[in-house]
Chain A
Amino acid sequence: MNDQESDDKVDLEELFDSSVEHEPTPMGERVRRTADLTLVAPARVALTDWRAVVGTLILFGFFLAGTAGVVLVDRPTSGDAPILAPPFQNLNYILGTDTFGQPIGAQLIHATPAMFKMIFAGAVVSIGVAALVGLLSGFMRGTVVDTVLMSVTDIVITIPGLPLVIVLMAIFAPKNPYVVGVLLGLDNWPGLARTVRSQVLSIRQESYVEASRIMGLSTGTILRRDLLGQLMPYITINSALASRRIIFESVGLYFLGILPFTTFNWGVLMNLAYKGGALNRPQMLHWLIFPMVTIFLMSFGLVLFSQGMDSVFNVRLRARHASTTSDNSAMDQGQGDGDV
């Protein structure tokens, strides 16, 4: 908790500096400080929370599979191995093979990069739109812009996401994983946008902001300084939850066969196995089960990570702004639209 104190002192110094004559902090110092605040301190707290540790490990495992794994394991092709080999028999296809003789393990690994692309695109779109809408309407509170943006937000919250996404997918039939991610991210921003807006509003009301305003700093400068730190928890946790949602939806759509089968995808595997009647044929069951386990693992990692981060940030927030009465954790606010 010593970092905490030093952080606050730094803030205070900056405050006083600016009242006399504002000298910008050296770039290196600023980077170091930001790194300390946003990376080192949370990491240290995160190590004490088992959920954060396990979640991060799982996600790192998937990261390895998506980068090194793709290089190390050959891209599966038909006839690589005997068809429908049972799992845990042969080291070359340890998870068994499908009806085309493609090793299931290799397919799972080669589906990971596309998954990451989707998640990345989806998270960037949803977080980006959310930040843009939230900041704009927060800054322009009470204006027409605010009213319009918030109405749009409410409308998007209400429109059932999945049917809309399905219609979009049916019309555009996207093949590129980035495009799939963007389309999935399109209806995922309103919750975070509202959070960002209320954070902007609450920062404007805090007493130290009032003080810096009296000292002559512009509202913009103050918000820039404090907003990022304040929003980090929400952005991190929402990214994790948005990722989980994108996995659920994309796999669901591939599983239904609504998205074109262009690449390897866990949902495609499930679709082929399910359509092939894996539920009724014990010798095919592994074809269905391993993709499901993979999806579970990845979202379990994401959920653990978000919950761990939630408590990490809560500890930090509580220490920093003991006076603010925000009992709601970022988790609660993200959860509402995290479902689906």
Chain B
Amino acid sequence: MATNYLAKRFGQAILTLVATIALSFVLYHAMPGSPTESLKNVILSQQAAAGGSTVNIERLNRLVALYTNVQPDQPLYVQFYQYFSSIILEQDLGTSIYENKPVTTLIFERIPWSMFISVYAMVVGYSLSVLIGAVMAFKEKSRFDSVSSVVLIGLNSVPYYIVGILLIYFFAIQMSWFPYGGRVSSSVTAGFNVPFMRSIVMHAVLPIFSMSMLGLGGALTMRGNSVRVLGEDYLRVAKLRGLRGSRIATQYVGRNAILPMYTQFMIGIAGVFSSAVIVEQIFSYPGVGLLMYNAIQTQDYPLLMGSLIIFTTVTVVAIFIADLTYGFIDPRISAGADNE
């Protein structure tokens, strides 16, 4: 049963990737005019800037093929096969028109930074929401509980990028506690040394906090789950058995209350990665999101599609890892049952 479940999830992950690649191919063709038409101007302006001479249509097609892996003069299915196989087999996402470098190279330089802030944002957001939700449940109907609910509803109503702007205003500009942009100070030397590490952390704090707002919505769910678990028979029996308080809090309340949120967390992964696009722009944090933003400004379509595919890949992998670990956390999953 368990292997069946995982096989299904694996198949789904693969399918999602294929679908995204197909989608990006469709989008190339859905551009106003054909990919040739829409890219022509972009390429021409690049050429002109580089001082190149006039280009004929064949040369343009070759250039389009070089940049995008889409060969406009071939039949559609051949185009798709070539596009698809160059991505899967050669890990070739095309070439950036603006930077004139392979898209994969550009993206892989940036990915660790986006992962860094996204992962920490998730960890911070989810831990905070679990913690706050649990405390609210333990102190149900107390002052803390009612005040927190209102605060949480309020936070739910503030987009994370506004939180980001406010954080910059208060903690970077007014207090000068943190830098308000970039990923590392230019004054420190790169390498495995303390000032460099410290600078990286300081630059990451504000982006991480503004992205972690996305996870806070979970606090109210956690509260509800904990209240339910606190009323369960097994909790009463655990107390009757004279178990330690810390064990009851973690193994009994914590575990049983967090489990139903696991799916929500998994889906949330996609949301947090996505938010990098806006947050990185606000904080000028040079990750994949900012790369994507710049690609839009320069109409660098290969880079744009490449970023979309990479974003999807990272999300799919993260969700698949979460799926793999789910079985360890909830024994009931192996019992099958697509309980909806």
The answer to whether A and B assemble together is yes
Residues of chain A at the chain B interface (Cβ within 8 Å): 51, 151, 154-155, 157-164, 166-168, 170-172, 191, 194, 197-198, 201, 244, 247-248, 251-252, 255-256, 258, 270, 274, 279-280, 288, 292, 295-296, 299-300, 302-304, 307, 327, 329, 332, 335-340
Bound-complex Cα distance A256 to B291 (A): 13
| B315 x A155 contact (CB < 8 A) | no
Which residues on the A side are within 8 Å of B271 (C-beta)? 160-161, 337, 339-340
Does A274 contact B165, Cβ atoms closer than 8 Å? yes
In chain B between 138 and 171, which residues have their CB closer than 8 angstroms to a CB of chain A? 153-154, 156-159, 161-162, 165-166, 168-169
User: How far apart are the CA atoms of A30 and B17 in the complex, in Å?
Assistant: 49
List residues of chain B with CB within 8 A of the CB of A279.
Answer: 165, 168-169, 173
Interface centre among A155, A256, A280, A332 (most CB of B within 10 A): A155
| Chain B residues engaging chain A, CB cutoff 8 angstroms | 12-13, 15-16, 19-20, 23-24, 27, 30-32, 153-154, 156-159, 161-162, 165-166, 168-169, 173, 214-215, 217-218, 221, 224, 228, 263-264, 267-268, 270-271, 273-275, 277-278, 281, 292-293, 296, 299, 301, 304-305, 307-308, 311-312, 315-316, 319, 340
Known: A256-B277, A295-B162. 17 other contacts (CB 8 A): A157-B270, A158-B270, A159-B16, A159-B20, A159-B312, A161-B270, A163-B277, A164-B23, A167-B24, A170-B304, A172-B32, A194-B340, A248-B159, A274-B165, A335-B218, A336-B268, A337-B271
- Known contacts being A161-B274, A280-B173, A296-B157, is A155 close to B16, with CB within 8 Å? yes
| C-alpha spacing A252/B277, complex, angstroms | 10
Contact A151 B153 (CB under 8 A): no
| Bound: A37/B214 CA distance, A | 35
**Which of A157, A160, A170 has the most chain B CB within a 10 Å cutoff?**
A160
Q: A160-B273, A160-B311 are in contact. Are A338 and B217 (CB under 8 A)?
A: yes
Chain B residues near A151: list those with CB within 8 A: 12, 15
Contact A303 B156 (CB under 8 A): yes
> Given A166-B292, A194-B340, A256-B281 in contact, is the A158-B153 Cβ separation under 8 Å?
no
Alpha-carbon distance between A258 and B169 when the two chains are bound, in angstroms: 23
Contact of B159 among A252, A332, A337 (CB under 8 A): A252
Question: How far is A157 from B312 in the complex, measured between Cα atoms in Å?
Answer: 11
Determine the chain A residues whose CB is within 8 A of the CB of B19 once the complex forms. Answer: 155, 159
Closest chain-A Cβ to B37's Cβ sits at a distance in Å of 13
Among B23, B31, B165, B301, find the residue whose CB has the most chain A CB atoms closer than 10 A. B165
The 9 closest A-B pairs by CB, nearest first: A162-B274, A300-B157, A299-B157, A198-B340, A160-B274, A340-B271, A248-B159, A336-B264, A163-B311
Q: Which of B275, B299, B319 contacts A158 (CB 8 A)?
A: B319
**Residues from chain A with Cβ under 8 Å of B13 in the complex:** 158
Q: How far is the CB of B310 from chain A (nearest CB, A)?
A: 9
| Distance, CA A279 to CA B169, complexed state (A) | 6
Which residue in A154, A296, A336 is a CB contact (below 8 Å) of B162?
A296
Cβ contacts under 8 Å, B270 to chain A: 157-161
**Subset of 30 A-B contacts with CB under 8 Å:** A154-B12, A154-B16, A155-B15, A157-B267, A157-B270, A158-B315, A159-B16, A159-B20, A159-B270, A159-B312, A163-B277, A163-B311, A164-B308, A166-B292, A167-B308, A194-B340, A252-B159, A258-B293, A288-B165, A292-B165, A295-B159, A296-B157, A296-B162, A327-B228, A329-B224, A335-B217, A336-B267, A338-B217, A339-B268, A340-B274
CA distance A332 to B224 in the complex (A): 10
Chain B nearest Cβ from A196, distance in angstroms: 11
- Please name the residue on chain B nearest to A293 by beta carbon: B162
Contact (Cβ within 8 A) B277 A166: yes
Please measure, in the bound complex, the distance between the C-alpha atom of A300 and the C-alpha atom of B308, giving whole angstroms.
31
Within the complex, the shortest CB–CB distance from B338 to chain A, in Å, comes to 10
B200 CB to closest chain A CB, in angstroms?
23
Q: A170-B296, A336-B268 are in contact. Are A163 and B308 (CB under 8 A)?
A: yes
Q: Which residues of B contact A154 (CB under 8 A)?
A: 12, 16
CA distance A258 to B340 in the complex (A): 38
Complexed CA–CA distance, A309 and B305 (Å): 40
Q: Report yes or no: B275 in contact with A340, Cβ–Cβ below 8 A.
A: yes
Report whether A167 and B27 are in contact in the complex, using a CB–CB cutoff of 8 Å: yes
Residue of A nearest to B162 (CB): A292
Alpha-carbon gap, A128 to B25, bound state (A): 27
Chain A residue at smallest Cβ distance from B295: A170
